[in-house]
Amino acid sequence: MSGLNELYQELILDHNKNPRNFKKIENADKLVEGYNPLCGDHYTIYLNMDGDLIKDIGFQGAGCAISKASASMMTTAVKGVTKKEAEELFTKFHALVTRDVHDNNEANIEELGCLGALAGVAEFPARIKCASLAWHALHGALNSEDKAVVSTEDSKMD
Ligand code: ZN
């Protein structure tokens, strides 16, 4: 195992043990529930917006280590950015975890900073939904009026 992989694994364990922004936001502007029935991951994401800016974000819920670490990393990555920037990160992160691992293009990993820690998930198709759940929920929240429920089984989403 390379040193980078060890570092990434530590990051995932740390975010799972000490999830960032693990809080309920009272009077949140947007609230979305994300559910991954295949693994049992279930989170609620709270957003406070200032126009197009994500002013505050929090999440609550439970699930496997990958889903919780990913949700924690997602909140730190999008707090304080615009809706457009958050959607761009979602697109890049989604491309990273659903990439063809045989076509080993590692170029995007470093660009994504700590989100790149989840790059290895692409090798485990059953865990991709765990890693992308919080992002799909965020995407749903940013594109809904106020409340939404997002399930990984509602559509063909990964
Ligand atoms: Zn999971």
The boundaries of the domain holding residue 80 are: 2-152
Report the separation in Å between the CA atom of 64 and the middle of ligand 1, taken as the mean of its atom positions: 4
Say which CATH number the domain at 78 has.
3.90.1010.10
Tens of pLDDT, residue by residue over 28-49, are: 999 999 999 999 999 999 999 9
Instruction: Flag whether 157 is in a domain.
Output: no
Report the separation in Å between the CA atom of 51 and the middle of ligand 1, taken as the mean of its atom positions: 32
In the chain, the percentage of residues whose pLDDT exceeds 90 is 68
Report the separation in Å between the CA atom of 36 and the middle of ligand 1, taken as the mean of its atom positions: 7
d(CA 49, CA 56): 7
Instruction: Flag whether 129 is in a domain.
Output: yes
d(CA 56, CA 157): 26
Q: Which of 23-27, 44-48, 65-69, 153-157 has the lowest mean pLDDT?
A: 153-157
Tell me: pLDDT of 107 over 60: no
Report the separation in Å between the CA atom of 71 and the middle of ligand 1, taken as the mean of its atom positions: 11
Report the separation in Å between the CA atom of 80 and the middle of ligand 1, taken as the mean of its atom positions: 27
Rounded to a whole number of angstroms, the CA Rg of the chain reads 15
Instruction: Flag whether 158 is in a domain.
Output: no
Which residues are in the CB-under-5-Å shell of ion ligand 1? 39, 41, 64, 67, 130
Backbone angles phi, psi at 50, to 5 degrees: -125, 90
Number of domains composing the chain: 1
Report the separation in Å between the CA atom of 70 and the middle of ligand 1, taken as the mean of its atom positions: 10
In the chain, the percentage of residues whose pLDDT exceeds 70 is 92
Instruction: Flag whether 105 is in a domain.
Output: yes
Instruction: Flag whether 39 is in a domain.
Output: yes
